[in-house]
Amino acid sequence: MQKTILGVVAALVVVGGGWYFYMQKGEPLPALGADAGSYRYSCDNGSQFTMAPSDDVSSIKLSAGSQGMFAGEATLSKVGEGARYEGNVSGSPVVFVGAGEEVRLTVGSVTAVCNPVPSQELAPWNWGDAAEGGGSVKQDTSLIVTESMLGKWQSVDDAKYVREFKEKGVVVDWYDGKTVSTGLWVAFTKEKAPKIFPYTMDTSSVYLQLTMTGTQADTLNFKISKVTPDELQLVYLDRGGVLTFKRVQ
């Protein structure tokens, strides 16, 4: 009951690495203790999860069922300023960013906008202004996927075929140990899409465009359906089908 009353008369924001309640006068109350509660969220893609902060609020635990964006539990650690937490679940990177009462949850290459499920016992968290450190989660989603894709990936269907994603947007295709094509690559969300991208995009996915030269000169467009430390799946938008790779470096 005490948490409920505090939640009604004060807003929860993130400042300097901790969560504090701020009264209208702007004076902080003590940081939350171990019994901070568990808070449910519902997302625009139909998934749900609960969030529970640690005793010092340096981490949060997310729990979800099999129908959610992930199954089981994921513990995320606070990163930088603002309401930003990062971790992983089943090999996929997870990023949790809060702004106001809204949360953007990214698991692998999929992002969802989530809002508190109404509760008579606990007022929803107010994560503060995005300018306090939440940042642009869409841009961060592309960055996370880009970093996860760096390296060499061998085709599951043809072991002689290897695609290498390098720093500074350089991509190289190898076949039987020989370079057959080079070019540029970029991963992006709908908000950051290239001017020439002839496909309908949804807001919760990350896409990939390759501009190739050499023997296989072409512009190739993909939807990134999965990226983990060991596996990469690309949905081929131009011709259909799915390309599956395993990491070799």
Domain assignment of residue 126, yes or no: yes
Domain tally, the chain: 2
- Per-residue pLDDT tens over the stretch 208-230: 999 988 666 788 999 999 888 88
Q: Are residues 125 and 64 in the same domain?
A: yes
- Which of 75, 105, 135 delimits the end of a domain? 135
Mean pLDDT in residue range 2-7: 36
19 in any annotated domain:
yes
Say whether both 8 and 130 belong to one domain. yes
End residue of a domain, out of 114, 135, 156: 135
Same domain, 205 and 183: yes
In a domain, 142, yes or no: no
- Rounded to the nearest angstrom, the gap between the alpha carbon of residue 169 and the centroid of all alpha carbons in its chain is 20
Q: Is residue 11 domain-shared with residue 105, that is, in the same domain? A: yes
Task: State pLDDT tens for residues 187-210.
Answer: 998 888 888 888 999 888 899 999
Based on the fold, state whether residues 207 and 180 are members of the same structural domain: yes
Whether 126 and 211 map to the same domain: the answer is no
- Domain around 81: 2-135
pLDDT in tens, 128-180: 765 444 444 444 578 888 888 999 999 999 999 999 999 989 999 999 999 99
Q: Is residue 223 part of a domain?
A: yes
CATH of the domain at 242: 2.40.128
pTM above 0.75, yes or no: no
Domain boundary among 135, 163, 179: 135
Same domain (yes/no): 211, 123: no
In a domain? residue 143: no
Tell me the C-alpha distance between 205 and 198, whole Å. Answer: 16
- Do 36 and 96 sit in the same domain of this protein? yes
Of 194, 173, 177, which Cα lies nearest the Cα of 243?
A: 173
Q: Is the separation of the CB atoms in 149 and 180 below 8 Å?
A: no
In which residue are the tokens 């606990």 written?
122
Residue by residue, DSSP assigns the chain as -HHHHHHHHSEEEEETTEEEEE-TT-PBPPPP-S----EEEEETTS-EEEEEE-TTSSEEEEEE-TTSSSSEEEEEEE-SSSSEEEEEETTEEEEEEEETTEEEEEETTEEEEEEEPP-SS-PPP----GGGTT--HHHHHHHHHHHHH-EEEEESS-TTEEEEE-GGGEEEEEETTEEEEEEEEEEE-GGG--S---S---TT-EEEEEEEEETT-EEEEEEEEEE-SSEEEEEETTT--EEEEEE--
Mean pLDDT of 32-40: 64
In a domain, 140, yes or no: no
